[in-house]
Amino acid sequence: MKKHVLSALFSALFLLTSALPFSGLAQTTVDVTFWHSMSEEAGEALSRIVERYNETTGAEEGIHVTLVYQGKYVDSVTKMNSMLNSGDTEHLPDVMQLDATGKIVYGAADAAYTVDELLQEAPDTDLSDYLPSALQNWNVDGVQLGVPFATSTTLTYYNKTVLDGLGIPAPETLQEIGRIAAFPLEEDATVYACIPNTPSLANWLGQLGSYLVDCENGSAGMAERLDCIQNGALETFLQVWKDLYDTGALANREASTDEFAAGKLLIMTASSSTIASLENKIGGRFELGVCAYPKVNEASSSGATVSGSCLVMFDHGQEKREAAWKVIRFLTGPEAQAEFAMKAGYIPAVGSALQTDTWRSFILQHPQYAAGAEQLALTPVMMRSVTVGPSADFYYSIMNDVSEMLDQDLSASETAQMMEEDLTGMLEQFARNNR
């Protein structure tokens, strides 16, 4: 008896689902396939923007965007790799959202239709509205691959309620963070938790006027050695880091947003796009403070590099190319960028978005959301995010080495030497394989 009920239920479910309608397209429209990696709030915001495009501008121009989720960045890059590898370029999308890990492979692909190629076809294309630092981030070896779409940077988040209560202003340097340890805090509270990785180390080295690796952090060619050894920048930073640990303010582990939201961690550094979900988690229990990325010391410059993702195109004939670029223009236009920024915490990648009324009134109500854009404007242009072949290895090796320094009480110079060995080995191995 029960078996029958179940099987009836199952078949009803199947019938229902298979009967679900799938959007039929008008015949005259150009279909643009757009692979994205946005989930949660950002995913919802993106589908609303694309829906609106299809109903308004797209309908007028005869373009229909089909939005396809392709998993996380790492998954979609794997997918792109496999397709390029098997020569299956026909199933590549027209527009794709790509993060830094996909830069090198995309740049080498024949099927790619870079912005540089677009500029050759349409020389009067105007890119001046894009924020220079964000646009630069997607320029590899002098070739502009795509345009910034979901732009973020690393910021300092702090528990404003607790810090205000102790009379501590927003911390600007790592030393100021260290001084907080001397204040009477709750017993199980941690001031700051962090293990430096590639981007955060590049930020701090950049503030000291140094690159992490040569070729301007790998953006002007294939990096083969570290750039922060001879100028002593790495050792300087490691010493600061060790001193911070000795004050007791620094916990040698990665910050967790949950710990922060629970009020047990006072300061953390994280992506500007964390802000929306972080506010959800805090749920108004305390006031969230947002300020610029901490400086290594008083003398260093401030700022942090751009991260996030861009939009790139693949070549499927002229008609599709033109349509793809129109879609990208819409998605990186002022309205779309402002909306995306408000819903998902990304930074508008075009200057005109910052001037829209929606953005201005939004910032008045939510001043925390302005910190990212402000920081990007202040960041020196020489601070570039790191592009290296062995990106994952690099990332974890830096974390492991720095964390080992604190765990095993190694000296800053010993650690710098160890890091040079580990990281240079990876770069050399990569260079050998790709000569």
Residues between 361 and 400 that touch other proteins (CB under 8 A): 389-394, 396-397, 399-400
Please name the residues in contact with 350: beta carbons below 8 A apart, sequence gap of 6 or more.
Answer: 129, 130, 131, 332, 333, 334, 337
Cβ 304 vs Cβ 203: under 8 Å: yes
Least Å distance, CB 267 to other proteins, is 15
Does residue 301 interact with other proteins by CB under 8 A? no
In the numeric block, which tokens belong to residue 80? Answer: 């792109």
Q: What is the DSSP string of 286-314?
A: SPEEEEPPPBSSTTS-----EEEEEEEEE
Under rule CB under 8 A, which residues in 38-67 are in contact with other proteins? Answer: 38-44, 66
How many residues lie near other proteins (CB under 8 A)?
89
By CB under 8 A, which span of 135-143, 200-208, 273-281, 352-360 interacts with other proteins? 273-281
Taking the least distance from each CB to other proteins, the nearer of 37 and 133 is 37
Least Å distance, CB 158 to other proteins, is 16
By CB under 8 A, which span of 48-56, 201-209, 279-287, 318-326 interacts with other proteins? 279-287
Cβ 36 vs Cβ 70: under 8 Å: yes
Cβ 306 vs Cβ 151: under 8 Å: yes
Instruction: Map residues 7-26 to x or -, x wherever contact with other proteins holds by CB under 8 A.
Output: ------xx-xxx-x-x----
Question: Of 117, 176, 254, 322, which one interacts with other proteins (CB under 8 A)?
Answer: 254
In the numeric block, which tokens belong to residue 336? Answer: 């779309």
Taking the least distance from each CB to other proteins, the nearer of 9 and 182 is 9
- Give the separation between CA 321 and CA 217, rounded to whole angstroms: 31
Does residue 256 interact with other proteins by CB under 8 A? yes
Does residue 6 interact with other proteins by CB under 8 A? yes
Under rule CB under 8 A, which residues in 174-203 are in contact with other proteins? Answer: 188, 195
Does residue 248 interact with other proteins by CB under 8 A? no
Does residue 432 interact with other proteins by CB under 8 A? yes
Question: Which has the closest alpha carbon to 221: 427, 64, 41, 377?
Answer: 427
Question: Of 134, 201, 268, 278, which one interacts with other proteins (CB under 8 A)?
Answer: 278
By CB under 8 A, which span of 157-165, 228-236, 263-271, 356-364 interacts with other proteins? 263-271
Cβ 148 vs Cβ 306: under 8 Å: yes
Half-sphere exposure of 371 (CA within 13 A, CB side): 28
Q: 């017993």: which residue's tokens? A: 187
Phi, psi dihedrals of residue 67, rounded to the nearest 5°? -90, 125
By CB under 8 A, which span of 269-277, 311-319, 325-333, 365-373 interacts with other proteins? 269-277
- Give the separation between CA 208 and CA 186, rounded to whole angstroms: 34
Least Å distance, CB 300 to other proteins, is 26
In the numeric block, which tokens belong to residue 358? Answer: 């929606």
Does residue 4 interact with other proteins by CB under 8 A? no
Least Å distance, CB 121 to other proteins, is 26
Taking the least distance from each CB to other proteins, the nearer of 147 and 399 is 399
For residue 226, the 8-state DSSP code is: B
Does residue 414 interact with other proteins by CB under 8 A? no
Question: Which has the closest alpha carbon to 325: 132, 26, 142, 120?
Answer: 120
- Give the separation between CA 414 and CA 21, rounded to whole angstroms: 64
Under rule CB under 8 A, which residues in 114-173 are in contact with other proteins? Answer: 152
Least Å distance, CB 396 to other proteins, is 6
Question: Of 170, 181, 185, 426, which one interacts with other proteins (CB under 8 A)?
Answer: 426
Least Å distance, CB 264 to other proteins, is 5
Cβ 37 vs Cβ 69: under 8 Å: yes
Question: Of 284, 318, 365, 381, which one interacts with other proteins (CB under 8 A)?
Answer: 284
Phi, psi dihedrals of residue 265, rounded to the nearest 5°? -125, 125
